[in-house]
Chain A
Amino acid sequence: MEFFVKNAGIIALLPLWVFLIIMFGQNLSIYENKKFTLWLTATSTFAGLICSSFILAWTMSHNEPYIQNFIWLEAGYIKLSVGVIVDNLSAMMLMVVTSVSLLIQIYSHEYMNKDEGYHRFFAYLNLFNFSMLGLVLSTNLFQTYIFWELVGVSSYLLIGFWFRRPSASSAATKAFIINRIGDCGLLLGILGFLFFSIIFWLNSSDVFLGFSSLPQAAKYVYAATGSTPMLYTIIAVLIFLGPVAKSAQFPLHTWLPDAMEGPTPISALIHAATMVAAGVYLIARVYPIFELSNDAMTIIAWTGAITAIMGATIAITQQDIKKALAYSTCSQLGFMVMAMGAGAYAAGLFHLMTHAYFKAMLFLCSGAVIHGLNNQQDMKYMGGLRKHMPAVAYTYLIGCLAISGIFLSGFWSKEEIFSGLLANNHIVLLIIALIVAGMTSFYMFRTYFLTFEGEYRGNEHPHNASKVITLPLIIFAIPSAIIGFILCGKFGLPSFDNFISPTHEIVEHSENFILPVISLIISLAGFGLAMVLYVDKYRDKLNINLDNFIQKVKPAYNFSTNLWYIDKSYYKLIDYMVIPVCKLMSNFDKYIVDGIVNLIALMTGFSGWVLRLFQNGNVQTYATILFGGLMLLTFVLTIYWLL
């Protein structure tokens, strides 16, 4: 077991090698057989999964993290290093990332089989795996930042995978630019933190910005900026800006729904399970920094709460199945961030893990449906698909139950978030969270009923998904269903809280049954409402006309279908604020900077033109100039001499 822990870097490096092999060898004849690429990718990820399981087992019995560092850059007295950290948090993330990506790779083999960019797809997938695992294994903020950017790049490449589609390429650009805003904040935050803590790191035996001494460093920075707590809060919020963009939190969430332009396995892997969770992971890593500032924690919690309620309200009216799931992802990420901000550290991570499994599965189900209907994503043209693809329908149902918090894994993680909010006296947040939980259950079952129940409304003939597609779904269904219960820490089962926060003081949950019961009732209410509104049988029985119902709540409905007018106001902002400034700058560049350059060129050209007049090739002109010049010189010198 020691061996796997000491060579944990291999887990991240294997996908990198596979990426290079596929990238540089994809034109070789051996790649005619697509299985070669699949085997290469799946083997490397499977090896990573095995290593991760051993590492997870090791961390169960060891409280001290294993850290390995190499110095990478030395600039004066600043030493930046890269390395590998193995502790409970990274072991958990390794497990989640490798298992989810292994299943998704198998799924993608079938899903992308007909695509001409099959090898490119797998190469990018491996690049993403490398970046994500590197991010998880980072020992310091500097290395985290590098891999943070790398996951951004691979996400960009995969969103724009079908780059011939204008919508895909613009979605990729949008994702990249919005992530840039967050990354800019993160970098500024890291630099600000380093600026105030540089003396601490010089005296510390740890590497610069290392996670293991981050609590002490945060205290040092807090003391260094002691006269102005505002400054410390600003640094913390700037660091938080990174997760805001990456985890699609409220002001910068608009890229995530657009990112659904990418292939569905990518939506499942990157934009639901792993990369967007990286933001939450980073919050967990730099938690000591946030913990010291109450203001920063409040901002984080409220950002999460706003995102949760916004995502939920928008998801209710989405017609595109992937868009609905995307907003649901936003909302769930908001849950995690809210839990983090409210001090329920372990609960947020627990929800991250359960969410990774069931949301990846939901996305893969939607992918199977889309695949089966020849790229039909609109739920208007679905319905009744349970008869055509039962395996997909039942796994989707399990996912819905899990995310809605009805007994399956989402119930346990959400329950922990609720009790965490209650324990930290965030009553308003608790109420918001409960409302969002009800809405979650409503919109998830809405998608389920619209897609799988009732009469089929489309034109394409639906065909069932093949075994390669349903197998990962069925495997995913197992952790989706039970992982929450297994790690709930009750009934003598192991506790996720104790595992993830061995050093943090363990908050004894008040063992009351009121909160879980309330959450369950709310979720069931959402489920019931969805059933009444979207199952024909019950709707007819209760005489509800859906269109009339929508007419009654028209303003709210419009507010939701227009995505809270956030995108529209961003475009307006860009039209009226950013573009004029850009135009001004572009004109400055065009007329003033370029003008100066052109003027210099013109002057040179003019003098060249003047000199060219003397070069006409006639020997007598040369002689005239020669002697004329001589005479002029003589004349001048004579005058000079006379004077």
Chain B
Amino acid sequence: MFMEIFSVIFNVGLTHYLILGAIMFCIGLLGLIISRNVIRVLMSIEILLCSVNINFAAFANYVDINNIQGQIFAVFIIAVAAAEAALGLAILLSLYRNKPTIDTEEISELKG
């Protein structure tokens, strides 16, 4: 009885992973849009990339078990994400030097 329940709970399939990825993507997106702090925006971007990674890994595991293209792609994304975070922080730092704020409401230099 216990084992049955266990297997039902832990018998996860592709769908569960995709749902998890979608939930994380939405969280990341929400964070990206509503955060005022630039650090949090960067963190949200990481969450977005993570959700993508989950999708890659899930698809690779369930659909294309013989090749490991998905996993390799996920590794690449992690590397690029690290680089991107570093770049983002550097930009943020130089921005902060010119304009002592990290509030996104205050930063509207993109306006023509």
Range of interface residues on chain B?
10 to 19
What 1/0 flags go to A547-565 for Cβ under 8 Å of B?
0000000000000000000
Give chain A residues whose Cβ lies under 8 Å from the Cβ of B32. Answer: 620, 623
**CB neighbors of B among A599-636 (8 A):** 615-620, 622-624, 627
Docked CA distance A622–B107 (Å): 13
Cβ–Cβ contact A618 & B33, under 8 A: no
Cβ–Cβ contact A617 & B104, under 8 A: no
Cβ–Cβ contact A623 & B108, under 8 A: no
Give chain A residues whose Cβ lies under 8 Å from the Cβ of B100. Answer: none
Docked CA distance A618–B34 (Å): 12
Chain B's closest residue to A622 (CB) is B110
Cβ–Cβ contact B112 & A615, under 8 A: yes
Q: How far is the CB of A403 from chain B (nearest CB, A)?
A: 80
Docked CA distance A54–B81 (Å): 102
Name which of A616, A618, A623 has the most chain B CB atoms within 10 A of its CB: A618
**CB neighbors of A among B27-51 (8 A):** 29, 32-35, 41
Which residue in A616, A620, A623, A624 is a CB contact (below 8 Å) of B111? A616
Cβ–Cβ contact A619 & B29, under 8 A: no
Which residue in A618, A622, A623, A624 is a CB contact (below 8 Å) of B105? A618
Give chain A residues whose Cβ lies under 8 Å from the Cβ of B4. Answer: none
Docked CA distance A622–B111 (Å): 11
Docked CA distance A618–B105 (Å): 7
Chain A residues touching B, majority SS: helix
Docked CA distance A76–B13 (Å): 85
Q: How far is the CB of A2 from chain B (nearest CB, A)?
A: 78
Cβ–Cβ contact A617 & B33, under 8 A: no
Chain B residues touching A, majority SS: loop
Which residue in A617, A624, A627 is a CB contact (below 8 Å) of B110? A617
Q: Count residues of chain A with CB under 8 A from any CB of chain B.
A: 10
What 1/0 flags go to B88-112 for Cβ under 8 Å of A?
0000000000000000110111111
Docked CA distance A618–B33 (Å): 10
Cβ–Cβ contact B111 & A617, under 8 A: yes
Q: How far is the CB of A415 from chain B (nearest CB, A)?
A: 89
Q: How far is the CB of A612 from chain B (nearest CB, A)?
A: 10
Docked CA distance A233–B112 (Å): 72
Give chain A residues whose Cβ lies under 8 Å from the Cβ of B109. Answer: 617
Give chain A residues whose Cβ lies under 8 Å from the Cβ of B41. Answer: 620
Q: How far is the CB of A639 from chain B (nearest CB, A)?
A: 19
Docked CA distance A620–B110 (Å): 11
Q: How far is the CB of B81 from chain A (nearest CB, A)?
A: 17
Q: How far is the CB of A576 from chain B (nearest CB, A)?
A: 57
Give chain B residues whose Cβ lies under 8 Å from the Cβ of A618. Answer: 104-105, 107-108, 110-111
Q: How far is the CB of A625 from chain B (nearest CB, A)?
A: 10
Q: How far is the CB of A299 from chain B (nearest CB, A)?
A: 72
What 1/0 flags go to A401-417 for Cβ under 8 Å of B?
00000000000000000
Chain B's closest residue to A618 (CB) is B108
In the complex, the 5 A-B pairs of residues with the closest C-beta atoms, listed nearest first: A617-B111, A617-B108, A617-B110, A624-B33, A618-B108
Q: A615-B111, A615-B112, A616-B108 are in contact. List 17 more A-B contacts (CB 8 A).
A: A617-B108, A617-B112, A618-B104, A618-B105, A618-B108, A618-B110, A619-B104, A619-B110, A620-B32, A620-B33, A620-B35, A620-B41, A620-B104, A623-B32, A623-B33, A624-B33, A627-B33
CB-defined A-B contacts under 8 Å, sample of 21: A615-B111, A615-B112, A616-B108, A617-B108, A617-B109, A617-B110, A617-B111, A617-B112, A618-B107, A618-B110, A618-B111, A619-B107, A620-B33, A620-B35, A620-B41, A620-B104, A622-B110, A623-B33, A624-B33, A627-B29, A627-B33
